[in-house]
């Protein structure tokens, strides 16, 4: 099987070109086997463009470029043709078509789509918050969070935190373990922003066994035993009852579905 190499050349971050490349590569290599996609962002000089195209010719790579300056697009096309590099201009044809429709010259300003506005900053701040206060690392984050997730191990607390962070919510999560008293801050926050994540013992047993095997460990360890799981879930029920928080059953639910339920729950509370 021939290796696929795709070079993304962009005068901004290169996300558009990479998404196009991934959509196409998966038609040939569904699991990205023998496929390499490399981004060359902020390519705004002729010298830089020449070096990348030459490198692509040495590697036999397909070049996808998203350049807003007409002269840079023209140079990229000429360089690729001269060096026998197959290239695709993603933005050029669309810009030219739009020019005809609106009868206006394009701004040719790189990175407008990713301008650092307030919404962008809120998203980045929320993502950084979720990382900082993941897995109960710092209980002080519970007081600052928009959402606090609690649950036993392997109930998708971290993936949910990241997904909700991309929706601009500051999320902290706390693992519940019978041998460890939850942080006092958990009982000081507004119960309305706390969500418990519960799962069926059977499903949790399966997930934990798979996790242990993935780590190369024996899948009959105490971590995955039914008795241990029942003990943890009983402790979970005790804590959620003490807090008086909303509980969502995540058994067989995708992260997106659970996240949407959490968001709807918060919106309902705000309206009441």
Q: Is 153 annotated as a binding residue?
A: yes
Q: Which residues contact 191 (CB under 8 A, 6 or more apart)?
A: 243, 244, 245
- 146 φ/ψ angles, rounded to the nearest 5 degrees: -80, -35
45 carries a ligand binding annotation: no
| Rounded Cα gap, residues 261 and 248, in angstroms | 8
Alpha carbon 188 to chain centroid, angstroms: 30
Nearest one of 90, 109, 45 to 72, comparing CA atoms: 45
Query: Is 247 one of the annotated binding-site residues?
Result: no
Q: Is the Cβ–Cβ distance between 87 and 77 less than 8 Å? A: yes
Whole-angstrom Cα distance, residue 143 to residue 164?
17
Instruction: Consult the annotation and say whether 152 binds a ligand.
Output: yes
Q: Distance (Å, rounded) from C-alpha 15 to C-alpha 91?
A: 13
> What string of H, E and C letters represents the secondary structure of 100-124?
HHHCCCCCCCCCHHHCCCHHHHHHH
State yes or no: 170 annotated in a binding site: no
Residue 12 annotated as part of some ligand binding site: no
Burial of 69 (0-12, 13-18, 19+ CB in 10 A): middle
Q: Has 77 been labeled as part of a binding site?
A: no
Q: Is 111 annotated as a binding residue?
A: no
* Cα gap 250→169, rounded to integer Å: 19
- Is the Cα dihedral 216, 222, 225, 230 positive or negative? negative
- Annotated binding residues, as ranges? 151-158
- Annotated binding residues for ADP, as ranges? 151-158
């Amino acid at each position: 099987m021939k290796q696929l190499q795709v070079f993304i050349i962009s005068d901004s971050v290169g996300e558009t070109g990479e998404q196009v490349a991934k959509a196409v590569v998966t038609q040939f290599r569904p699991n990205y086997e023998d496929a390499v996609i490399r981004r060359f962002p902020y390519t705004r000089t002729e010298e830089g463009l020449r070096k990348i195209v030459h490198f692509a010719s040495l590697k036999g790579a397909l070049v996808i470029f998203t350049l807003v300056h007409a002269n840079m697009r023209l140079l990229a096309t000429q360089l690729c043709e001269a060096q026998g590099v197959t290239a695709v201009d993603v933005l050029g044809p669309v810009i030219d078509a739009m020019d005809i429709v609106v009868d206006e010259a394009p701004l040719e300003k790189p990175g407008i789509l990713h301008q650092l506005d307030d919404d962008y900053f809120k998203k980045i701040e929320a993502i950084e918050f979720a990382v900082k206060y993941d897995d109960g690392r710092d209980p002080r984050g519970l007081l600052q969070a928009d959402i606090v997730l609690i649950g036993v191990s392997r109930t998708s607390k971290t993936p949910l935190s990241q997904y909700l962070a991309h929706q601009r919510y500051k999320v902290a999560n706390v693992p519940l373990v019978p041998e460890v008293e939850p942080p006092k801050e958990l009982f000081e926050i507004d119960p309305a922003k706390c969500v418990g994540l519960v799962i069926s013992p059977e499903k949790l047993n399966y997930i934990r066994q798979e996790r242990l095997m993935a780590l190369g460990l024996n899948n009959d360890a105490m971590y995955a035993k039914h008795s241990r799981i029942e003990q943890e879930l009983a402790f979970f029920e005790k804590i959620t009852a003490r807090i008086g928080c909303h509980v969502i059953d995540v058994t067989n639910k995708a992260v997106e579905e659970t996240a949407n339920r959490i968001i709807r729950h918060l919106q309902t509370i705000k309206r009441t």
